[in-house]
Amino acid sequence: MKEIMNVELRIRKVDFSKCKTDMLVIGMFSDAGGLDGLGKELDSKLGGAIGRLVKLGDFKGKSGTNAVVYGNGRIGAERVLLVGLDEKKKATLDTVRKAAANAAKKAVGMKVGTMSLALHKAFGARFKLPALAQACAEGTYFGSYQYDEYVTEKENERLGSLKAEVIDSDSVKVKELSSGLSSGITIGKAQSYARTLANRPANIINPPKLAAVAQELARGSKNLSCTIFDEEQLAAKGMGGLLAVGSGSQNKPRLIVLKYSAAGRSASRQPTIALVGKAVTFDSGGISIKPASGMDEMKLDKTGGVVVLATMKAVAELKLPVNVYGIVPSAENMPSGTSYRPGDIIETFSGKTVEVLNTDAEGRMILCDALAYAVKQKCDIVIDIATLTGACVIALGRYMAGLMGNDQKLIRELQAAAEQSGEKVWEMPSGDEYAKEMKSKIADLKNIGSKWGGACTAAAFLRQFVGDTKWVHLDIAGMDMFQKPTEFAVQGSSGFGVRLLTTYLLNLAERKK
């Protein structure tokens, strides 16, 4: 099996035009009316090659576009890559992240070994340098990511690693940039870890295998501990929802519980957050089987769970002063003679009973047990993340995740983290009107509502398992993957949620200091 792309990243003090590199990356805004100071300096050394390219209109500075200009021996770089930044007034940290991603993807595609990012001066005036370095790191990991561990053919093979750097000629700036780089690297690596786990198919990763991955993760970290509940322990605990969904598969369900404890004496005074992630390693729909077309994409139905594992990895590396549970219910939803069926009434861990009317609405069946478990651990805040409903994709498209919750302050904190991380969310309702639809005549709840508002009724179902605990639900059904390659990413898992959740926890830790 092939190693996933190894990315090394550093900050270096060096003169831009003297920087020896395979690819020097500079940004250009679409409305800047030409080159900025650095662009002009390089252009004059390159005999006007960049200026001509821009003048001919071959590069307009649009986001997601780039253009290569070759060196001539008078600058240190072999190539200059111009990357588009769109309109200057619209620039955010995500502009930087995306530009870095676009450049890194291009570098890997061109088999370039070293890439040097020069930050556009306009960003330094608007954002803090550590945050800019973090965005560069996150973008570099995101864009260079490839998933080819099972490709054995040697033809047109990529390089095994990318050596990247953020450069500046000012030593004070270099020092400030350095302080944001390491969190960017941690988050970037964690997101790649999530993408690889999510991309692995269901014949490679099933619930027991995912549990082994979590145990391995905990073994590698002093502050993480891992407990796995197997099918017998789940039965003893009465986790009827998780057991029902897993009952049709040879690969038995697991509840994965990772615990991260903040170091030091004040740890017990810190809040405890539960991250709950849906990990259906394959969602065939079960007896209510899905159509054949696109069913392969349902190997990604474990995305919420692997994003939680990856976030726990990042939290442990960042040594954040908060206590975090990572709770991942995992099952394979398959049709067979032992499957749960439409009509079944299931007793869940909370004691509430659920009438199953569609076995494809399995996410809520496993999450309700995990949410009740989180509440039982006395967590102060519960955040769940799940590829829960096709209805959410219909409502929001593939641009942002649905966000529902029962606490406005927590909702606002997640909205702020979304803004910062570039992983967007949009608030949707999940209150009484929706909860009413989920009432059953012969059990406490049923697992589907009417034809309409499916993302909201699903959230309203979950809401009933958290009681008064502060809770937010993220429906990432439209966000778990890229169905086609983009200018910033290869096809497949996006790892959506790792940056969002880690940023939320980083902000929380910052406020607790």
Determine the Cα–Cα distance for residues 406 and 392; give it in Å rounded to an integer: 18
Q: Is residue 454 part of the contact set for ligand BES (CB under 6 A)? A: yes
From candidates 273, 334, 361, 375, binder to ligand BES by CB under 6 A: 361
264-303 mask for ligand BES (x: CB under 6 A)? -------------------x-----------------x--
Q: Is residue 363 part of the contact set for Zn ion (CB under 5 A)? A: yes
Angle of helix 363-376 relative to helix 454-463, nearest 10 degrees, comes to: 30
Residue nearest to ligand BES (CB): 390
> Angle at CA 10, nearest 5°, toward 8 and 13?
150
Q: Which does 238 bind (CB under 5 to 8 A by kind): ligand BES, Zn ion, none?
A: none
Q: Is residue 30 part of the contact set for ligand BES (CB under 6 A)? A: no
Q: Is residue 64 part of the contact set for ligand BES (CB under 6 A)? A: no
Residue of 179, 198, 341 whose CA lies nearest to 278: 198
Determine the Cα–Cα distance for residues 275 and 103; give it in Å rounded to an integer: 33
Give least dist CB 290 to ligand BES, A: 7
Q: Is residue 334 part of the contact set for ligand BES (CB under 6 A)? A: no
Enter the tokens of residue 139.
Answer: 């973008």
Determine the Cα–Cα distance for residues 10 and 164; give it in Å rounded to an integer: 7
Residue 52 bears catalytic tag: no
Q: Is residue 358 part of the contact set for ligand BES (CB under 6 A)? A: yes
Q: Which does 393 bind (CB under 5 to 8 A by kind): Zn ion, ligand BES, none?
A: ligand BES
Residue of 210, 61, 194, 107 whose CA lies nearest to 495: 194
Residue 3 corresponds to which amino acid? Answer: E
Q: Which does 448 bind (CB under 5 to 8 A by kind): ligand BES, Zn ion, none?
A: ligand BES
Residue of 356, 339, 360, 358 whose CA lies nearest to 348: 356
Residue 126 bears catalytic tag: no
Determine the Cα–Cα distance for residues 184 and 503; give it in Å rounded to an integer: 10
Q: Is residue 477 part of the contact set for ligand BES (CB under 6 A)? A: yes
Residue of 195, 137, 465 whose CA lies nearest to 327: 465
Determine the Cα–Cα distance for residues 495 and 142; give it in Å rounded to an integer: 9
By CB under 6 A, what part of segment 367-406 binds ligand BES? 387-391, 393
Q: Which does 132 bind (CB under 5 to 8 A by kind): Zn ion, ligand BES, none?
A: none
Minimum CB distance to Zn ion smaller for 355 or for 362: 362
Strand partners, 163: 8, 114
Q: Which does 358 bind (CB under 5 to 8 A by kind): Zn ion, ligand BES, none?
A: ligand BES
Interface positions with ligand BES (CB under 6 A): 283, 301, 358, 360-363, 387-391, 393, 448, 454, 477
Catalytic residues, which ones?
Answer: 290, 364
